[in-house]
Amino acid sequence: MFSFKEIILLLNKSKIISRVEVKTFDEIKGKSIYKVRCNLVPSKYKFEIRFVCIENQILYSYQLFSKTPIIRWDNSPHYPKIKTHPHHFHTADGNVIESELSGNVVEDLDKVLFHVKTIILDHGY
């Protein structure tokens, strides 16, 4: 599993994040739900993370958006033909492709934040 506090610390250390807001923090026996929304630099961007932890399984979603969604990584099991199933990536042009994420929340968050920064700087969405 992972420590939610560790995730918040990683987000607060990121230079592209100006504000971290915990929207949902619900821990009950056998199930935890977390939702975090971050304001990014530049300020027209937002970044949202959702985790649903049920026993030893973690469902995740990392999404970059402005007024509308731009990109998203998640592991909902609805694309079984993708080689990295259930992990997949929703591109800015609407395609769903393989994802380099593994479900290790701390490692994945570092990768996602790197890609978000690159996308904002390179593409200027």
Q: Parse the chain into domains and list their residue ranges.
A: 4-123
Which parts of the chain register pLDDT below 50? none
The pLDDT score that the predictor gives to residue 123 is 63
pLDDT of residue 43: 82
Helix (H, G, I), strand (E, B) or coil at 119: helix
118-121 long-range Cβ contacts below 8 angstroms, 24+ apart: 119/64, 119/70, 119/71, 119/92, 120/16, 120/40, 120/42, 120/45, 120/64
Burial of 58 (0-12, 13-18, 19+ CB in 10 A): middle
Q: Is 111 helix (H, G, I), strand (E, B) or coil?
A: helix
Confidence at residue 55, expressed as pLDDT on a 0 to 100 scale? 84
